Structure 1
Amino acid sequence: MGIHVVIQPLVGYGAAVVSPSPGVRQLVAGSEEASFIIQVPARIGGLMDTARFARSLAVAANEFGDWCEVQNRTRSYSSSLEQQWSSAVDDAAPGERD
């Protein structure tokens, strides 16, 4: 069984490396209200496994960020959400309405 965490960032969300105690480092992402923390497992090989994971996460996050920026530039939101929904209902075929 896997655990999946979905985050929809708000203004102010970010990521940082923190040291909660001497000699300990953690990668923290989110906000003060909700965050996830990545830390090194206490086992042989844990440092290298965490380094590989952090680097792959950084590459994927950068790719995702680039995609989000492109999407933001190519989409327009000239009307309000209410107008968009009412337009979608008006455009629906008669058999698609309740």
Structure 2
Amino acid sequence: MNGTDLNQFSPNSFMTRAQMVQILYNAGLYSESSRNTKSSFQDVPNNHWALTAIETMRSERIVNGFQDGTFRLNEPITRAQMAVVLQNVYQKQNR
């Protein structure tokens, strides 16, 4: 897990949905890294720093976007969303 800047960790900040997905990706919670260079979500630019992580976790069915086709990168992840993500990780590991 990296900090939010070169010499800063920001332990009291909220975690965004993009940061959460990058952490899961860095932890290796996937079978194969996505090679998709185009975003599946209308609000995720193709050059976003977390695109590979987002696309990989989406293809692994760990995370989903919203019904309106967005991922909402910079929104804080809610407790309910994190609970679903952890359940998806658990189920994937026990298949």
Q: TM-score range by the shorter chain?
A: under 0.3
Structure having greater relative contact order (Cα 8 Å, sep ≥ 6): 2
**Structure 1-normalised TM-score?**
0.27
Larger radius of gyration: 1
More strand by share: 1
Structure showing the higher helix proportion among its residues? 1
